[in-house]
Structure 1
């Protein structure tokens, strides 16, 4: 030890110099050798390539390989560096031979660089060759050998070697020249790629075929002589043709790749896409596109989710259309008018709050609210219709009236909880049209909500009658990502399992397309909760369905917003949705959440909680259904023995009076309800000798609001058409007296309609019945 200290004291300058050289040597190699931008590469869940986005510098350069296939390793080592595993960064023998041959030839005819040195040269962007540069490379190569294993150095070379044109790296070259993954290459293909980096500017597929083939075959012969391949493999390999032209990269999920590239630039991303399902969905989309474009509908989108994992299984952002028809628009994430797709959400929330029961009658009559007059698609009225039927038939007027009753702001807050990212305006901005497509949402977000509904019911049983705090979590397209459903809590954050189950069950009764009308009669059929939507002007067609395992969402339309008369959710989007469900594994229906449902007596006619006087049935309803109203439409009346007339004790002996229960709707509802329900019976009139104890009721059918405007249209011979005033009365025998500006004009009986044709101006319409009831309306004619 003393001698060591004495040596250090006597050789301070030498020791310091050596230490400085060691420090310089240690830090001479950059921490990251290659700073070049790379392509964004996206693979399916099985690691099959879905697509890629070119690097910012215009080069097709994939991220570094995880490993180098054995065939390519054998080929590249035999062609470039047979002693790779024996040297420490440089090969003195090769250097001496190369130097000697180059001197004799008076030009560079042979290189003595090892693969390690070539990695250094590639990282230094191929500096001009000189002996000084060679010395640098040699020093850096030895440093690289200290830092990395041989396998890692080989991966660096295979990932950054040039392969002709703008193709960099083995993986990209494999796809570009052979349309295969590197691990799928044959011996001949591996040998072809092994010789390309040697002179990429001169030799690449499609040109100089003879020279390329000679190099490849010499390498194959060397492999054969070294017994790395057998004779049969050798003969078959040299007989293989060279690639004639570059292959295009896969475009299996183009729009997903583009979307991922925005968020994960320069990375290799393994997506959750099921490659086999994706390809089948692509084929289905192509078939439907060929049909749809006959109606000048050029764009669509399809999204398939796994309910349990919330992973994206298939993602089609657009149809296989052209640039003229916006082929690059990603319609999965684009915001579009929702049409009727939000109606199930309102239905579920009203069940949850106890404001509605599934079969409860809701009004379907001419409606005007603050100047807004919704219309049903059929332009007809049912008078009164069960809420679940109104949902499955997608009736607009009941939906608007239900929204008004539930509360516009309250529903807007619910949508906030669902995190529909494109619905950002306050409730007053949308108004009641919110439920009919007055707002916009994306297919991505709507499928998320349907998956949340399916998950709420599925998890309720799994969690022993509890809920995940974040059930409506956003889905993921990353294979390694696990969505966070949050904590397990005893009460739901948004909607309970009972209300959700009843909603999904109702949606199974939506009328399927004509080709699927008999689905219930086939054993192979599965129940699907689904809803369609068609936006105003037939610009957007939706169909979204859910089972216990999967959610399938479809949007069809034109990306530029052009509407088509035949474009509807049922006719255009739902056939595509059902075709996608047909290629998915069949799912069992949801288990009924018994712990979140209660059994109650429900009025058979009205769907409300039954009164003692109602004819009732036992039904399972949501827990909060107990808060719902009791039936308002059944009343007890007194009739005489023949039951033809109502009587009272003023005109009939109590012994001759019967008490009966009668189903009675308000006049306007009854007017339309009777047209569709022939068994509806109006209240019997009072017998002539009896005094009616309560006034009969009447209501306007037109005009419905107190102050209305109407324009007289012209008919045959350019004559102005009349305005037809309509009234309904609960007493079929009642007389109604009509007045125009306090001037008597006519009397009506039984059927109360009156045509008038006054000049332009403002008029007061007054009606009085023979019971003394009076109604007024103001009508402006222009």
Structure 2
């Protein structure tokens, strides 16, 4: 038999030679495949030449009427912090919880990826991630948040590039200065100022652990909105720091025992409900900003502070009676919003009860009934009879279940007598009453059933304030507004309210206006609103209470200044016998006691008109029947409370570990 290796075909390869040969072939082809693979994913890699450029959402700075800063909306960046100036435990906190092997891996951590993969398989869902700090930096700097394989591979490529381009110390500094901490704060300096009102160089161990813990989810682990969850996460960070020997067990125990004081909002983030109300309007007027904007508003910060204090104090004082929330809106004669409070605590609930919530007005709606009657020829001295009444199937009842007999319209409004208001609305026409309310500023739907006379109409405090404004300013329509001017950081004016300002529209004439002011003064001097009296000032207004005490109102005014106050519960369940003459009137007085001296308000314009001699209105036919909605409790003697002193700045809240 012939030798198979004869004929110049060469000797058979040894196993070692075969291994080397095929290893080389596979290696070459693997390298070709890897290069091709990376080339495909690198085609649309972002431009990394502008690494140090900061691209951010333009900010909107809101200023009060005197130019003081109210709030800033949009991304907040602080100057980069020098890693050397931070306490050693600050970067160590992030390394312990986010990337323990940061100083040893090449940009990605195979051990961490494997561990995360095993955990995810066991759980049957994604419960852990294997991203290193370098990968997170690459993602934050260059990539979108899309979850797909292309983005993940690009993240790995960029992470390796960052490791080649920069030192570990530079990567860590970039990370700490660019990572997002929620609430619009980018970078550890902005976060430290946002949550603790201090520079990052003065962060305590507990504060550093809270910030590091937020990396798992800035919203979910926010020390403002999720205090307990944030505290538990911070404790885990401290445990990891002990495990990596970044701190001692004794230092951990000391940090756990020291409560961290967290600011609910920045020192310059005030009037948040008002800013929310403004935010949508700014974008409607000028579109999405392409550069930093300054919005000059009508708000008066000292008056706003008094309003917030009065609301908090009033709700706290009446908490036992079931008062959980309140709202307050104050307008001047032109409709400028001077104070705006949408709830007791913005950090606990961002729902705006000043303009978004709609609640039944109760007897605070009755002035529109009486105004319609005055415009049809009646006057405060007209005598009516408080007696049982049926209008179809509806039978209104008074608050105390009794009937007082003959009285004037002035007395009926002051005592908030339901039968008289219902009869009056039926006589003048509920459609005419609705037209009057719309003319003055009520924009919500007004149903025309007889019960509307007693306030079965859902409105917002903002609407009520602007609808009462004509009583305070001489009879002119005063649509509520809050933006005076919008300008760019470079000074270009994008919007100016004065340019669009129109002539004043008269909506209440004489003698109806002085008649109404006379009657609503009596509400405060001897009716259901006596708790709202502010000595030395010309005050008028109307209380409102709805069925089962679900809502309580006081809307009052002086010369050129009107304030609407609502109290109740968000779930619309009843309070415990809280009437408009109680908590709302107390809040109103607490606010006005501080605001009026600053405003230098004058008397209510329009003068006084002596009405004709009292005349009997005569019997009124019974037409319709049901249950009363807006009756008021007879006024009780109110202790005269001193004007409260200005409340000191609210201390930051504590996050216990």
TM over 0.5: yes
For residue 431 of structure 2, what is the aligned residue in structure 1? Answer: 409
Residue 347 (str. 1) matches residue 339 (str. 2): no
**Deviation at 1:511?**
3.8
Task: Tell me, yes or no, if the aligned pair for 2:371 and 2:516 is still in contact at 8 Å.
Answer: yes
For residue 373 of structure 1, what is the aligned residue in structure 2? Answer: 395
1:729-765 CA-partner distances (Å, limit 9, x unpaired): xxxxxxxxxxxxxxxxxxxxxxxxxxxxxxxxxxxxx
Distance 1:486 1:405, change over 3 A: farther
1:664-703 → structure 2 map (5 Å cutoff) = none
Residue 359 (str. 1) matches residue 374 (str. 2): no
Choose from 480, 488, 500 the match for 2:513: 500
SS in structure 1 at match of 2:567: strand
Residue 509 (str. 1) matches residue 535 (str. 2): no
Choose from 282, 292, 295 the match for 2:321: 295
For residue 778 of structure 1, what is the aligned residue in structure 2? Answer: none
Task: Tell me, yes or no, if the aligned pair for 1:159 and 1:168 is still in contact at 8 Å.
Answer: yes
d(CA) in 1 for partners of 2:446 and 2:614? 41
For residue 230 of structure 1, what is the aligned residue in structure 2? Answer: none
For residue 581 of structure 1, what is the aligned residue in structure 2? Answer: 592
d(CA) in 1 for partners of 2:531 and 2:460? 31
**Deviation at 1:535?**
0.8
TM-score, normalised to structure 2's length?
A: 0.55
Residue 604 (str. 1) matches residue 641 (str. 2): no
Runs of 5+ consecutive residues of structure 1 not aligned to the other structure: 1-26, 53-61, 81-104, 110-118, 139-155, 214-242, 458-466, 607-632, 634-664, 670-703, 710-782
**Deviation at 1:107?**
9.4
1:479-558 → structure 2 map (5 Å cutoff) = 480=486, 492=506, 494-496=507-509, 499-511=512-524, 525-558=536-569
For residue 308 of structure 2, what is the aligned residue in structure 1? Answer: 282
Task: Tell me, yes or no, if the aligned pair for 1:158 and 1:170 is still in contact at 8 Å.
Answer: yes
Distance 1:291 1:513, change over 3 A: farther
Residue 172 (str. 1) matches residue 190 (str. 2): yes
SS in structure 2 at match of 1:341: helix
Distance 1:707 1:573, change over 3 A: closer
Residue 398 (str. 1) matches residue 447 (str. 2): no
1:27-71 CA-partner distances (Å, limit 9, x unpaired): 9989x9777779998776622548x7xxxxxxxxx5255xx6xxx
Moved more, 355-364 or 543-552: 355-364
d(CA) in 1 for partners of 2:383 and 2:527? 28
1:232-247 → structure 2 map (5 Å cutoff) = 245=260, 247=262
In the alignment of these two chains, the number of paired residues is 470
**Deviation at 1:436?**
0.1
Distance 1:505 1:36, change over 3 A: same
For residue 446 of structure 1, what is the aligned residue in structure 2? Answer: 464
**Deviation at 1:706?**
10
d(CA) in 1 for partners of 2:560 and 2:440? 20
Task: Tell me, yes or no, if the aligned pair for 2:531 and 2:589 is still in contact at 8 Å.
Answer: no
**Deviation at 1:591?**
6.0
**Deviation at 1:311?**
1.9
**Deviation at 1:451?**
2.6
For residue 677 of structure 1, what is the aligned residue in structure 2? Answer: none
Distance 1:309 1:535, change over 3 A: closer
**Deviation at 1:162?**
5.7
SS in structure 1 at match of 2:75: coil
1:414-433 → structure 2 map (5 Å cutoff) = 414-425=436-447, 427=448, 431-433=449-451
**Deviation at 1:399?**
1.6
Task: Tell me, yes or no, if the aligned pair for 2:392 and 2:625 is still in contact at 8 Å.
Answer: no
Distance 1:137 1:249, change over 3 A: farther
1:700-724 CA-partner distances (Å, limit 9, x unpaired): xxxx869999xxxxxxxxxxxxxxx
**Deviation at 1:276?**
4.2
SS in structure 1 at match of 2:588: helix
CA root-mean-square deviation: 5.9
d(CA) in 2 for partners of 1:561 and 1:533? 16
SS in structure 2 at match of 1:366: coil
Distance 1:497 1:310, change over 3 A: farther
**Deviation at 1:526?**
1.4
d(CA) in 1 for partners of 2:456 and 2:175? 57
SS in structure 2 at match of 1:562: coil
SS in structure 2 at match of 1:303: strand
Residue 475 (str. 1) matches residue 518 (str. 2): no
Residue 335 (str. 1) matches residue 358 (str. 2): yes
Runs of 5+ consecutive residues of structure 2 not aligned to the other structure: 1-46, 87-102, 108-136, 144-153, 167-173, 217-233, 248-257, 487-494, 627-657
Task: Tell me, yes or no, if the aligned pair for 1:41 and 1:63 is still in contact at 8 Å.
Answer: no
| Structure whose residues are more often helix by fraction | 2
Distance 1:486 1:528, change over 3 A: farther
Distance 1:366 1:450, change over 3 A: same
Task: Tell me, yes or no, if the aligned pair for 2:529 and 2:581 is still in contact at 8 Å.
Answer: no
For residue 330 of structure 2, what is the aligned residue in structure 1? Answer: 304
Distance 1:159 1:435, change over 3 A: farther
Distance 1:357 1:313, change over 3 A: same
**Deviation at 1:269?**
7.8
Q: Which has the higher contact order (CA 8 A, sep 6+)?
A: 2
TM-score, normalised to structure 1's length?
A: 0.47
Distance 1:501 1:310, change over 3 A: farther
SS in structure 1 at match of 2:566: strand
Distance 1:123 1:382, change over 3 A: same
**Deviation at 1:388?**
2.3
Distance 1:171 1:398, change over 3 A: farther
**Deviation at 1:361?**
2.7
Task: Tell me, yes or no, if the aligned pair for 1:337 and 1:535 is still in contact at 8 Å.
Answer: yes
For residue 775 of structure 1, what is the aligned residue in structure 2? Answer: none
1:176-211 CA-partner distances (Å, limit 9, x unpaired): 45x33xxx859868xxx9xxx9xx989x99867999
SS in structure 2 at match of 1:555: strand
For residue 63 of structure 1, what is the aligned residue in structure 2? Answer: 75
Task: Tell me, yes or no, if the aligned pair for 1:282 and 1:316 is still in contact at 8 Å.
Answer: no
For residue 453 of structure 2, what is the aligned residue in structure 1? Answer: 435
Distance 1:590 1:316, change over 3 A: same
d(CA) in 2 for partners of 1:362 and 1:256? 44
Task: Tell me, yes or no, if the aligned pair for 1:127 and 1:133 is still in contact at 8 Å.
Answer: no
1:44-443 → structure 2 map (5 Å cutoff) = 46-49=68-71, 62-63=74-75, 123-125=141-143, 160=178, 168-169=186-187, 172-176=190-194, 179-180=196-197, 245=260, 247-250=262-265, 253=271, 255-256=273-274, 273-308=299-334, 310-318=336-344, 329-332=351-354, 333-351=356-374, 353-425=375-447, 427=448, 431-443=449-461
For residue 10 of structure 2, what is the aligned residue in structure 1? Answer: none
Task: Tell me, yes or no, if the aligned pair for 1:341 and 1:533 is still in contact at 8 Å.
Answer: yes
Distance 1:295 1:245, change over 3 A: closer
SS in structure 2 at match of 1:496: coil
d(CA) in 2 for partners of 1:378 and 1:130? 77
**Deviation at 1:129?**
6.9
SS in structure 2 at match of 1:585: helix
Distance 1:365 1:483, change over 3 A: farther
d(CA) in 2 for partners of 1:501 and 1:163? 57
SS in structure 2 at match of 1:508: helix
